[in-house]
Amino acid sequence: MRSDHPLDRYDVPEPRRRAARAATAAVVVAALVPLGFAGWLGWEAVAGPKKDGSGVAVGSLPAPGLATGPAAGGTSASGAASGSAGPSASHPASRAASASASSSASAAHSDAGKVPAASGQPLAGKTVVIDPGHNPNNGSYATEINKLVQIGNGTTNCDTTGTETDGGYLEADFTLDVARRARTLLEAEGAKVVFTQDGATTWGPCVTERAAIGNNAHADAAISIHGDGAPASDRGFHVILPAGVDQGAADNLAIVAPSRTLGVDVRAAFHSVTAEPFANYISNGSGLDVRSDLGGLNMSKVPKIFIECGNMRNATDAGEMTSASWRQLAAQGVVKGITTFLESGN
Ligand SMILES: [Zn+2]
């Protein structure tokens, strides 16, 4: 039987998490609440959350150029949320979502000549690295995943088992499923998609290797998909952005700004598509956390974020996360955010 490793509860040791949060929460709130969060509140009041999956288009993208920097990122979040209140556009991605689920990256590229890039293959030439958090087999390899790896400003475990719902649905199974759904959608848009693991390995890889895979792929965007394991009364999703770390083998300073833009775009899109609220237990409900204790972010050289799609220990969130149709929405939300980011010239 696998057991709850202390590190799994919130994915990382709690004291370090809070230290990172305290240092950045004020900045995050100051930068984002006036524009992005206020805009979101306005949208909520007018339109309410979308709950009908069939009506959720991977469209209604804000105009290109909105998400070009940290300041504009707040505008982007507001714009994306406001845009989603309008009519559901028939975006190419919606059509792509119903297309062949078996298309590979190479097949998508070979089709590029048949479909105008402007409409059918908006992500042609882009590389997206998806990191499905943890590994379903990690629970059987405690020695391997508990070894320490260097993440610049310290050490951390190679990997962790992740959390699970009270019913025993593993976070690692959730992350793989959402990642595979997102891959199908991204490939239909013409992107090359690289996974850090696809459930076929016995354990890991280590968080440092997960970052290296994104770096070696020269990813235009990278995302690590997770589910959280917070107390049962907590719910909601949040995006984790890299804090700047220039220490030891880590130097991610160049990706801090573009990663924030990516994160703001994914936060807006994930919320608009899934109707999942911003986490009520992180960063004053802003839906954005900034951390310096995650190897996958410290060691990244490409724009990268984590998303905690929900709290697997919360009954409402667990009900969603164990639903295949909700996981499809989660994938659509992630892909919509990445598409917004990449179509804005990133
Ligand atoms: Zn996790």
For 238-251, how does the pLDDT look when each residue is reduced to its tens digit (9 = 90+)? 999 999 999 999 99
234 C-alpha to ligand 1 centroid (Å)? 16
Q: Which residues have a Cβ under 8 Å from the Cβ of 206 and sit 6 or more positions away?
A: 145, 147, 149, 158, 159, 295
Give domain limits for the chain.
6-111, 127-343
In the set 189, 308, 320, 343, the catalytic residue is: 308
Cβ–Cβ contacts within 10 Å for residue 148, how many? 11
Mind listing the pLDDT tens digit for each residue in 51-109? Answer: 333 333 333 333 333 333 333 333 333 333 333 333 333 333 333 333 333 333 333 34
What is the CATH topology of the domain spanning 127-343?
Aminopeptidase (3.40.630)
Q: How far is the CA of 254 from the centre of ligand 1 (A)?
A: 25
Predicted confidence (pLDDT) at residue 119 exceeds the cutoff of 80: no
* d(C-alpha 124, C-alpha 109), whole Å: 7
Distance 66 CA to ligand 1 centre (A): 31
Concerning whether 308 is annotated as a catalytic residue, the answer is yes
| CA of 304 relative to ligand 1 center, distance in Å | 15
Q: How many CB atoms lie within 10 A of CB 12?
A: 19
Distance 14 CA to ligand 1 centre (A): 13
Q: Are 207 and 162 in contact (CB under 8 A)?
A: no
pTM of the model: 0.69
Which residues are CB-neighbours of 11 under 8 A, at least 6 positions away? 133, 160, 162, 163, 226, 228, 229, 308
Residue pair 186/93 in contact by the 8 Å Cβ criterion:
no
Q: Are 232 and 313 in contact (CB under 8 A)?
A: yes
pLDDT, average across residues 137-166 = 97
CA distances (Å), 53 to each of 119, 158, 183, 272, 325, in order? 23, 37, 19, 11, 8
Question: Whose CA is closest to 274, among 335, 200, 223?
Answer: 335
For residue 106, report the distance from its CA to the centre of ligand 1, in Å: 30
CB 303 within 8 A of CB 255: yes
In the predicted model, is pLDDT for residue 48 greater than 90?
Answer: no
Mean pLDDT of the chain: 76
Q: State the distance from the centre of ligand 1 to the C-alpha of 169, rounded, in angstroms.
A: 13
Share of the chain above pLDDT 90, in %: 64
Q: What is the pLDDT of residues 158-199, one digit of tens each?
A: 999 999 999 999 999 999 999 999 999 999 999 999 999 999
Q: 141: CA distance to ligand 1 center in Å?
A: 17
pLDDT band at 346 (very low <50, low <70, confident <90, very high): confident
Dihedral of the alpha carbons of 126, 129, 130, 133, in degrees to the nearest 10: -160
Higher pLDDT, 170 or 20: 170
Distance 88 CA to ligand 1 centre (A): 32
Strand partners, 306: 224, 240
Asked if the model's pLDDT at residue 255 lies above 80, the reply is yes
Task: Give the pLDDT confidence score for residue 125 in this predicted structure.
Answer: 97
User: Ligand 1 center to residue 171 CA distance, Å?
Assistant: 7
Distance from the alpha carbon of residue 46 to the mean position of ligand 1, in angstroms: 34
In this predicted structure, the answer to whether residue 323 has a pLDDT above a threshold of 80 is: yes
Distance 328 CA to ligand 1 centre (A): 19
Residue 111 has pLDDT above 90, yes or no: no
